[in-house]
Amino acid sequence: MLNTKHSESADSDSKRASAGSGGSHVSDGAAAGHRSYSTSTDRPHSGTGRSGGHRPARSHDGMRSGRGGGYRSHEATRGTAHRAAAHHVSIDPGHAHKKAPQNENATRLVPLGGLEEIGRNMSFVEHKDEIVIIDMGIQFPEEETPGIDFIIPNVDYLAPKKANIRGLVLTHAHFDHVGAIPYLIGRIGNPTVYTTKLTKALIEKRQEEFVNAPKLNIVVVDNGDKVKLGKHIELEFFGVDHTVPDTIGVVVKTPEANIVHFADFRLDYDEEGNAAKLDDFERIGKLGIHTFMIDSTNAEKEGHSVSERLVEENLEKLFVEADGRIILTTFSTMLTRIAEIIKICEKIGRKVFVSGRSMKDAIQISHTLGYMKFKKDSVLPIEEIGKYDDDKILVLTTGAQGQSNAGLMKIVTGEHKYVQIKPGDTMIFSSSVIPGNERSVQHLKDHLTRQGAIVFNSEMIDIHSSGHAPKADLQTVVKLIKPKFLMPVHGYYFMRSANGKNAVEIGLPKENVRLMDNGQVAELTKETFTIISETVPATYVMVDGLGVGDVGEVVIRDRRILAQEGMVVVITTIDRKTGRVLKNPDIISRGFIYLKESQELLNEVRKKVRLIIGKIPPGQLDGDYLKNLMRDQIGQYLYNKTFRRPMILPVIIEI
């Protein structure tokens, strides 16, 4: 029995708002030998706006710096709209939201991310004064967040309650589940992390890059382990199959509900078509599961998971048939696949050259811990690639999603120091495309083909097995778990709705499917799952360079305007005493018009500026008033002439 003492400074609990009751569900019909741990605790319980003729921008809330007080999102309306849609699918008026006193004895289940996007996975379970968090991931930027590196969950609710947080469970090492740790772990009191050996090593390696981040306190767990976090919450872990080894699911046990979170998972089949780990899932089902949080990424796809054995066979066939170099791209943490690739290369006599620091680190850590086994000279530094013939080379690189700073993009653009595309190269995409990245990946394939590469992807041949279970496998697991309630997670609303309908098809009552959205609060009792009217902050927190949460609504809005409409700077020099214009106004345009071909329009703008200033009585010149007046009237004038709405930046120089 392992006892771990935690001591944190006390933080006063935030008072929760009074809550109502309600629900949202699918619209259409359709252990012997386990280790145990016990954890005792002594913790107490600016940009420039537009007006005039300008098109109104989407309404957003501002965001403060994430390093200090709290985060506020640039896109507060997003969750509201999704919640409205969720409530529309409710088919039972008795589940409508209504005010009601909060049930202090209920278990609270709250998703902070991952339910309206792919990525940013994070949720927590709260019972009285104990909280356990599951995952802490990042989301890649969207078209509506230009220039952003990535998006992380909002922990404004958790930060004041950090003394109550008993642990953070990390299900596996993919960035959409662990990537936000360096940015958020300090804000929530640096709680103990419970995860597997490989995930521990990978997140510790990344944590080293953040010199100001706290040192992580990690407890390694394995399949079958049990951890008692306090008086009310106990965890039980079990293994699931995914594209990274050491992926775990967790059962969170409270006095009111056993909640099972399967992480990202698939069923892996042997050559005879038998699925692995079904006995473990059946054992979990016998625990009496109240709520099943189930992966929804591939819920609308029919059939079963593609066996990794079939993927391995098809990759070997492609490798053998390739005459020249092979360049293969996948995720840096898709370690099961990478191990297969190295094994095939050893078999057929090719050397593996790795491009991309994150992939190098992941392979080295996996090899050191024994998750990959290969000969010392099988994986070589990319610097040595020139010593080998083309038919003895396989380049393994990051960048399968078209990321601009990844290894593959540098190879395609000719910026890579050691590898450039040449005719006859075999280019293999051994990964799926994350929804939202389709255009970037398509452009990448176009550039590769133009340069003479022979491109293969999983749509042409089975060279990728998704780490997310499709419909038939999801239904198999639901039958084994036998949950009272199903809460689809990890996906857009359409995916989660499809997942709920899949469960209804095999007999789960449709009123027992709960489609929540980020920030909603569910109260669980032994027989109920009620989505109450209370919400917690779950809006975007954006990471841009070294800034965390300091890029807010105004900055994002201005970036979108500049990208879509361009800008016009009007510089005017004025005599402070007389209010007269001393020289012809200077006009600078970026992304709006080509100045040399638009002299007539520029002259008209200059006349308009003189006219605006001329109407102001001498001695009554106010710089801020004049800027607003110029912004409105010049903006309206340019719209009337061009039907475009550039950002107008007036600059007044008083002499």
CATH architecture of 566-654: Roll (3.10)
The tokens for 182 are: 């360096």
| Residue of 127, 464, 468, 490 with catalytic role | 468
Say which CATH topology domain 308-456 has: Rossmann fold (3.40.50)
52: helix, strand or coil:
coil
Model confidence at 146, in pLDDT bands (50, 70, 90)? low
Cα(9)–Cα(163) distance, rounded to whole angstroms? 7
Angle at 210 (CA atoms; ends 204, 211), nearest 5 degrees: 105
Q: At what angle do helices 471-481 and 278-285 cross, to 10 degrees?
A: 40
| Residue of 246, 264, 295, 550 with catalytic role | 295
Find the range with the poorest average confidence among 142-146, 384-388, 425-429.
142-146
Model confidence at 58, in pLDDT bands (50, 70, 90)? very low
Cα(571)–Cα(639) distance, rounded to whole angstroms? 19
* Residue given tokens 């642990």 in the structure block: 167
Whether 363 contacts 379, CB under 8 Å: yes
What percent of the chain is modeled with pLDDT above 70? 80
Q: What is the pLDDT of residues 596-644, one digit of tens each?
A: 778 888 888 888 888 888 787 776 777 788 888 888 988 898 888 888 8
- CATH tag, 70-303+466-548: 3.60.15.10
Q: What is the pLDDT of residues 443-460, one digit of tens each?
A: 888 999 999 999 988 776
Cα(442)–Cα(135) distance, rounded to whole angstroms? 31
Report field, pTM of the whole predicted structure over 0.75: no
The tokens for 22 are: 């309600």
The tokens for 380 are: 């070589």
Whether 257 contacts 514, CB under 8 Å: no
Res 271 pLDDT > 60: yes
Q: Clarify whether 468 is annotated catalytic.
A: yes
DSSP secondary structure code for residue 382 in this structure: G
Sequence letter at residue 488:
P
Res 479 pLDDT > 90: yes
Write down the mean pLDDT value for the chain.
Answer: 81
The domain locations on the chain are: 70-303+466-548, 308-456, 566-654
628: helix, strand or coil:
helix
Quote the pLDDT of residue 592.
81
Cα(413)–Cα(100) distance, rounded to whole angstroms? 60
Quote the pLDDT of residue 42.
38
Whether 239 contacts 245, CB under 8 Å: no
Cα(173)–Cα(262) distance, rounded to whole angstroms? 14
